[in-house]
Amino acid sequence: MQPLRSKTGLSIWMQDIREIIEGCVRGEKRHQDALYKRFSSLLFGICLRYTKNKMEAQDVLQEVFVKVFNHIHSYHHDGSFEGWMRRIAVNTSITNYRKNLKHAYQEDIDVVVAHNEEPIHMEDLEFTAEEMMLCIQRLPAGYKTVFNLYVIEGFMHKEIADKLGIDVNTSKSQLSRAKSYLQRELNELSRIKQKE
């Protein structure tokens, strides 16, 4: 179901989403299907950022929708519904990460070795969103989780440490290592592109 566009397009979309939410609260399958169709791509993208592959992301997405449907009655229309669901997706993805990896790749910030590689001049390079996503997906799980929470979701290191049950310095270390890893990946991709 695509939102209707008109002079009052936003209000029609909001009314439509409110109707879908109310139908989901009543447990009506057609409204649950409509909600899934409208938001599954967005939430899948969030889950994919925190998982190893598409199959794991699909499993997490299923957990996200179970939580959304089980707790939709607690949404009171006082904030962004999309934001409410995004929070559920991020938290469910983090729970999955913690359950499966239990702090893999953790090291203290003091042991991070600075790399003397040439910095990437992003204005000189053109990477597609797909290429960037592939590079991020190749990050080791711990690095990827911290990178996504810090760079994409906007969490601070203290919040990340609390969410993941790790030390603040570990969060900083993993972000630093993630950036170095991405820099190497992008440098390699740049070399490949220049040869073409």
pLDDT tens for 98-132 read: 887 654 544 444 444 444 444 445 455 577 888 88
How high does pLDDT run on average in the chain?
A: 81
Distance CA 50, CA 60 (A): 10
Indicate which CATH number applies to the domain containing 14.
1.10.1740.10
Helix (H, G, I), strand (E, B) or coil at 150: helix
Q: Which of 101, 121, 145 is the C-terminal boundary of a domain?
A: 101
**Contact between residue 123 and residue 189 where contact means Cβ atoms under 8 Å apart:** no
- For residues 186 and 166, membership in a common domain is answered with yes
- For residues 38 and 80, membership in a common domain is answered with yes
- For residues 78 and 115, membership in a common domain is answered with no
**Least confident window among 63-67, 126-130, 148-152, 157-161:** 126-130
Domain total of the chain: 2
pLDDT tens for 7-17 read: 444 444 555 88
pLDDT reported for residue 125: 55
Which alpha helices (DSSP H) does the chain contain, by range?
9-25, 29-49, 54-71, 81-101, 129-137, 141-147, 157-164, 168-195
Parent domain of 128: 109-195
Indicate whether 2 belongs to any domain.
no
Q: What are phi and psi of 89, to 5 degrees?
A: -65, -45
Indicate which CATH number applies to the domain containing 121.
1.10.10.10
